[in-house]
Amino acid sequence: MRFKLLMILLLFNTANLADAEINVVTTTSNAAALIKEIGGKQVNVTSLTKGSQDPHYVEAKPSYMMMVSKADLLVSIGLDLEIGWLPSLLKGARNSQVVAGAKGSLVLGDFIEPLEKIEGNISREHGDVHPFGNPHFLLDPMRTAALSHVVAKKLGELDPTNRDVFNQNAVEFASRLKELTDIWKKQIKESGVKEIFTYHKTLVYFLERMHVHSVGSIEPKPGVPPTPGHILGLIKVAKKLGIRLTLVENYFETTAAERIARDVEGMQVKSVPVSVEGAEGITYLVDLYKALVAAVSKSSKGR
């Protein structure tokens, strides 16, 4: 009798463990959205940053330390995106499970071949550069699709009983993204937009995927606010090359872009979300990609 009771208890507890969510903390809302797509009901995901926040400049708040201290898995972007705040946060969290190299650490940037990797002599005179590559790769739906398998693998390591669920979710999500990407590329091609301005270099991966080229940034150097001289230079470029669209990440002011638009006939300035939950209606990654595609494809035709 006692043995049967014990077995029932053990089974109950095992079932509970199998049903226990993996507590995941991510550094960005885009990473959180990816984890949710793959982890489904098996994960409880929290993003340290809101969609409306610039992830380069985040305060290492004690409340974040608390969240990380309870995490089973910490997912970060890497490529030095979080270099200014994550080490301090990890130190304060005191959770050895999620430190770099630990089982509960997943750095997404380690699994892609980044764009804009800088070779040669670099220094701070070049602005806030990311020498190991541009970290905004989750704005490329196909790289996101590839990373979904990486995420599935990591979740499977932490929760082997649901490994198949994670893998299936990854396959389905990746497949869906591929189908949609083909549609989006066609939409942008039909719009005729080939060259635009951007504020920062956040959209590099998205634009590369959609075969659109950013020929100028409002920031003269990454992280450096625009100067009047630089704005005048961009006006000249816009007129010469027929640029008619500037996309500004919605955590930046549009003032400088609007100044250019005043002098360039037909120039449109669009404030765009670059993170999930960075604007109303952007709840999933697909929503985010759709919004970016619409911002490009529904603008006036340019070169």
Partner 1 sequence: MNNFRTLVFTSIYFLVTTSAFAQDSTGLKTSVSVDIAGEFSADKESDAKDKIGPRSVDVIFYAPVDHIFDGVLALAAHDEAGVSMFELHEAYIGSSKIIPNLSFKLGQYFLGIGRLNHYHRHEWPFITAPEVHARFFGDEGVNDSGLEISYLVPLPFYLDITIGATNGFVYGHAHDEGTKPITPMYYSHIKFFESIGELDIQPGITLLKRHSSLGQKMSLYGFDLTGKVKKGKTLVFLWQSELWQRILEFEGSTKQEISTGFYMYPQMGLTNGLEFGVRVDYLTVNTLKDATGNSVDNSEAALVPTLSFRPSEFSLLRASYKQKRSQTDGEDNVDSKTFEFQATYNLGAHPSHAF
Interface residues toward partner 1, by CB under 8 A: 53-54, 56-57, 59-63, 65-66, 69-70, 83-96, 99, 101, 124, 128, 223, 225, 251
Nearer to partner 1, 98 or 264 (CB): 98
Q: Minimum distance between the CB of residue 176 and partner 1, rounded to whole angstroms?
A: 33
C-beta closer to partner 1: residue 59 or 258: 59
Which two three-digit tokens encode residue 139? 């704005």
Going 52 to 58 to 63 to 64, the CA torsion angle's sign is positive
Query: How far apart are CB 58 and partner 1 at their closest, in Å?
Result: 9
| Phi, psi for 269 (deg, rounded to 5) | -115, 125
Spell out the residues 6+ positions from residue 65 whose beta carbon is closer than 8 angstroms to its own: 89, 92, 93, 94
From the CB of 214, what's the least distance to partner 1, in Å? 21
CB nearer partner 1, residue 62 or residue 281: 62
Partners of 107 in the beta sheet? 76
Q: How far is the CB of 273 from partner 1 (least distance, A)?
A: 15
Amino acid, res. 76: S
Write down the least CB distance from residue 223 to partner 1, Å.
Answer: 7
Cα–Cα distance between 85 and 69 in angstroms, integer? 15
Q: Which residue has the tokens 């990797």?
A: 117
**Closest-CA residue to 257 (of 265, 248, 266):** 248
Largest CA distance in the chain: 87
Matching residue, tokens 């006692």 = 2
Based on DSSP, count helices (H) and strands (E) in the chain, helices before strands. Answer: 10, 8
CA triple 201-219-144, angle to 5 deg:
10
Compute the half-sphere exposure of residue 204: CA atoms within 13 Å on the CB side of its CA. Answer: 15
Residue 110 CB, nearest approach to partner 1 (Å): 16
Instruction: Name residue, tokens 């985040």.
Output: 58
Nearer to partner 1, 141 or 226 (CB): 226
Minimum distance from CB of 25 to partner 1 (Å)? 15
Q: How far is the CB of 62 from partner 1 (least distance, A)?
A: 4
Task: Kindly tell me which of 59 and 110 has the beta carbon lying closer to partner 1.
Answer: 59
* Closest CB to partner 1 among residues 7, 66: 66
Q: CA-CA distance, 214 to 205, in Å (whole number)?
A: 11
**Facing residues of 268 across strands?**
245
Inter-residue contact 288 to 276 (CB < 8 Å): yes
> Is the Cβ of residue 59 or residue 190 nearer to partner 1 in the bound state?
59
Residues facing residue 265 across a β-bridge: none
* Closer residue to partner 1 (CB): 26 or 191: 26
